[in-house]
Each structure stands twice: as C-alpha cells, then as structure tokens.
Amino acid sequence: MDKQDPRGFQLPRRRFVQGLALGGLAAGLGLWREGSAWAAQPAAPRSELTGTHFELEIGELPVDYTGRKRVATVVNGQVPAPLLRWREGDTISLRVRNRLAVSSSIHWHGIVLPADMDGVPGLSFDGIPAGGEYLYRFTVNQSGTYWYHSHSRFQEQTGLYGPIVIEPRDGERHPAQRDYVVLLSDWTDTDPERIYANLKKQSGYYNNGKRTVGDFVRDVQHQGISQAFAERRMWNQMRMDPTDLADVSAGAYTYLINGQAPAGNWTGLFDAGDKVRLRFINGSSMTFFDVRSPGLKMTVVAADGQPIEPVSVDEFRIATAETYDVIVEPSADRAWTIFAQSMDRSGYARATLTPQAGMAAEVPPLDPRPLLSMRDMMGQVDMSTPGMDHGAGNMSGMAGMDHAAMTHDHAMSTDELKTGPEVDMRVAKPRSNLDDPGVGLRDNGRRVLTYADLHAVDAPISAVVDREITLRLTGNMERYLWSFDGTRFSNAEPLRLKHGEHVRVVLINDTMMTHPIHLHGMWSELESPDGRFQVRKHTLVVQPAQRISYRVSADALGRWAYHCHLLYHMEAGMFREVVVA
C-alpha cells in the first residue's frame, strides 16, 4: 500500500521506509560476497584514508536503502568508497585490486595526471581485469575537493564512487572550524542495464510528471482555451515534452547524502561560532540537485576544486560531477536542514547540521515541478518573428528560424542544421548568457548561483587562442541516441590537438536536456560571453539552447576521454576521444 508523503506526492511503502535501520549500508553487518555465499569481513571498513600509499579493493556487498537488499559495487567494503585525503605536492600511490568477476577501473575525476593514470579502459589503459590489480602513481599538483569513480559500464551507478580532499600546501584560503564532505548520489534497486534498456525503448519511461487533463483545465482557466490549445498543439507537433527535465526520476532513484537516504538523515555537528565548510560533490549518475539550507546563507568559495572570489547565495544547482565548497555560519540555537531536491522535483536528499546530536530541522516541501519554456527550446528566437512555423512536424522547422537576426560568426546554413535519424532538434540561434540559473530556479525569490557569479582567483593558464573548435551537443530523444555533431562515439574520429597549442572550444546545445561536459586530463577555462576568462573547471554545464566557450591548453600528451557526465548519455554515444600529440 502506498503512503502519502507530507510533501504531496505518493511514495511506495518500500521507498517510505528507505534508510531506516542502517541507513542503507550493510557493511556494518560484516558481510562480504565470495562466490554464492555471504562470508564474514575481517574488520569494519575505514571511512577515511590518509597518507601517500593507499590499498583499495573493489568488490560487492549487500545494501538496503528501500527495504529490499541489493548488491552494490563497493571499495573496501563500503558505499560510498572511502574519503581519500591527499596533500598538494605529494607523490601518491594507489594499489587497486579487483575482486569482481568482471573488469573494473577507477578514474580520478578532475585530477591532472599522466594519461596512463587516468583510469579509462580502452584509452589510457586496458582496465583492471577480474582478479587483477593496477598501481596508480602520480604527483598531486593541485588542491581542493574532487572525487573518484569507476569508468567501466554502469559500476558508478551501482556504488563505485568516493570523495577526495586535497589539502593545500600553504593552508586553506578560507579556514573553518568544521569541515565536512557532502556527497550527493542516486541509488537504484533496478539493474542499470534494465534502466538503460527501458530508456532505449521509451525515453520518457521514468517521467512520472507528464501533464494531465487536470493540468490542461488549469491552463484553460489561466490562459484561455485558445492559448492553452495552441500551446499543447505546438509541443505535440514538435514531438517534445516540456516536462522532460530528467531521464531517470525518483520513481527509480533514492537520493543519498554520504550514503544515507533521507530517513537516515546524515548529521554534522558544530559549536557556537563555528564556520563550517561543506564540500559538496555530485557523485550521482544522472541527477542535477538544487541545494539550499532554508534560512542559512552560503558563501561559495571554490568550484570544481579551484578557489573563486567568494559569492553569497541562498541556493545553487550542482550538476553530475561538479563540486562546490561553501562556508556557512549556523547559529547554535537550532538545527539546520541541508536540502537537495532533484531538478525535476521528483525527490530529494537531506542532511542536518546541528549543535547537538538528535536534533533535526523541518524538511521543506519540494518546489513545484517546472516546465521547459521556449527559451530552453529555441534560445534567442523571437516568438513573434514572422514566418515562424508553429506547425512544423518536428524540430527541423527550427533550422530556418530567424537566420537574418543571427550574427555572422555563429550563423549556419540550413543544411548544417538539418535533422535526421541521429538528431531530432536544432537551435538556429543559441543564447550565450551565463546569468541564467536554469529551468526551475528562475525568479524563485531566492538568490541563486549562476556561472556569471564564478570568478577565478588565479589567472588563466594562457590568454592566447591558436584555433577554435565548435561542437554541437546533439541527440534523438525518441531513440535515446546522444552524440557530438550528430555522430555517436562508435562512428566518430578522435579530436586531435597539438601538444602545447591553446584551443577555444565552443559548445552549442541542440537538445532540450542540460549536459555536464567533462574533459579529462586538462582544465576547461570558461569564458564570459565577451571572451574574458571567467573560471577554471573540470566539468561545464551547457543548458538547453545555450552556447558556451572555454579555453583548453593542450599540455597533456596522450589519449583522453571527453563526454557528457550523465552516465546513460555517455553510454548512448555522447563521448569522444581527444588525442594530444
């Protein structure tokens, strides 16, 4: 029987009890899978490892987040994997043993290192075979908050991810009395292969927020019947859905903080007068989180491990693979909720900051589910433009829109913007602003972080640009195909960079989805719309119908991965090899 959640949506009984008892982690039971039996583990796992030499073991373990036991992929017997503490300037070694029956790998996300240490099977090494091991060894020449995860099929989704904190050689720029990692993730009881197959068969399989007859009646009341019908007709004829915000929702996911489901309520303590540093890491496979602590200001001091000029906000969106460090100063007379709701508003993760164990603050209701707008679909297209074809049978009609208003530098011919079996949507005139917080966060009454707020403390690696590369983020939603420039990885040639050259990369998002794009081995230095250096990141978010540009200094020889960090998008083809030679 379903139980009504106080926030107004139905939760199956198994999801209502999520996180009770052990908060999901079965490692404390001392259980380890060997063959077909559960055998005793020799000792409880250590949640934090420090030093210069690390012994890591990949295996399997039963976990329970929903009332049903499932097998997770674990490191040293735990989910998440242990927090690794390194020190800037140290040379570290990590011996990784694979106890799985299949090949595995670990990628050190955002860490600048030699290509053969990067951990991507098929590019930088062959992977770690079943029963085998691999010795990673490199010098740490950076500091900040990062994370690590498997780069082998769907092992990241089943639990192989963990945090990294690198202590700066000269001490923290913003010292704090308390320092906590807040690792966000999405757990599923469903086999990821089944999720992927479901998406391939029906891209909206997990979209439980589609508009209903009741929604149409409300639209008629607010807009009038003519406008309501016209809007529905437009979306239907474009074969698009304005509720399509996330491919996988809370219908399949339980959202976690530090391995704890909402009912488990991970808790961090503080004393009166403490400054608390929260190191947010989005270690999810597919989920964008909107993060806030009601009533508590957050000062963002680092993005993707790199220091930035401090900026005070009420809320921020964190994409898969991004990290943000924030400083908060909670008053000591109460507890404070850390609330991270999914972008599609189907669910949330929560934690508590408190001066005393056992205290908890109110959990806010989920925000209303947002809808994509024409801005998200068409960029700068003027809806009043004469000749705009509302009756186009698909988004190919967008290719001919408002070409006269496009700047010469970014204009493309209709042939270049054509659609087809691999590409179902094109944006003729993308927007380039960085001050948009994104769908669901616009004008919500809170001060929301945007990329326009991020300003690096350090200078860019190079102000020189030797050449420019433009790539379009493309896909076919109905077939669940994702790609760069309409070509999936299986059919794509590598992107080739000359060692030492400085390249401007321009990304144009031709899809209605938001994509976090990650380049391995090199920094991506985001530019403002007028070409000025903004901030250095390892993962850059491109909103629907948006154009962004960033500089890459090709200072790392080897073969590197370049991909959307939404796991099922990457597996469905939005992946390229980058060769620096």
**Distance separating the N- and C-terminal Cα atoms of the chain:** 60
Q: Where are the domains of the chain?
A: 3-170, 172-207+243-371, 394-581
Domain 3-170: give its CATH superfamily. Cupredoxins -  blue copper proteins (2.60.40.420)
For helices 213-223 and 225-237, angle between their N-to-C axes, nearest 10 degrees: 130
Q: Which of 93-107, 344-358, 371-385, 400-414 has the lowest mean pLDDT?
A: 400-414
Taking the C-alpha atoms of residue 106 and residue 73, their distance in angstroms, rounded to an integer, is: 12
Do residues 144 and 127 touch, judged by C-beta distance below 8 A? no
| Pairing mode, strands 502-509 and 467-476 | parallel
Q: Which CATH class is domain 394-581?
A: mainly beta
pLDDT at 49: 98
Q: What share of the chain is helix, strand, coil (3-state, %, to 5)?
A: 10, 35, 50
Taking the C-alpha atoms of residue 418 and residue 430, their distance in angstroms, rounded to an integer, is: 15
Q: For residue 189, count other CB atoms closer than 10 A to its CB.
A: 18
Region 395-406: what's the mean pLDDT? 31
Residue with tokens 């199956």: 12
pLDDT at 469: 98
Is there a common fold for 3-170 and 394-581? yes
Quick: pLDDT tens for 414-439.
456 788 889 998 999 999 999 999 99
Quick: pLDDT tens for 552-571.
999 999 999 999 999 999 99
On the question of pLDDT at 365 being above 90, the answer is: yes
Pick from 340, 317, 342, 344: nearest CA to 245: 344
On the question of pLDDT at 442 being above 60, the answer is: yes
Region 390-402: what's the mean pLDDT? 32
Topology of 172-207+243-371 in CATH?
Answer: Immunoglobulin-like (2.60.40)
* Residue-level length of the chain: 581
Do residues 263 and 348 touch, judged by C-beta distance below 8 A? no
pTM of the model: 0.86
Quick: pLDDT tens for 181-199.
999 999 999 999 999 999 9
Quick: pLDDT tens for 274-307.
999 999 999 999 999 999 999 999 999 999 999 9
On the question of pLDDT at 409 being above 60, the answer is: no
Taking the C-alpha atoms of residue 394 and residue 407, their distance in angstroms, rounded to an integer, is: 25
Confidence band for 29, pLDDT divided at 50, 70 and 90: very low
Pick from 578, 526, 581, 572: nearest CA to 551: 526
5 Cβ contact partners less than 8 Å away, ≥ 6 residues apart: 11, 16
On the question of pLDDT at 448 being above 80, the answer is: yes
197 Cβ contact partners less than 8 Å away, ≥ 6 residues apart: none
On the question of pLDDT at 352 being above 60, the answer is: yes
258 Cβ contact partners less than 8 Å away, ≥ 6 residues apart: 80, 181, 182, 183, 266, 351
Confidence band for 235, pLDDT divided at 50, 70 and 90: low
HEC-encoded secondary structure of 216-277: HHHHHHHHCHHHHHHHHHHHHHCCCCCCCCCCCCCCCEEEEECCECCCCCEEEECCCCCCEE
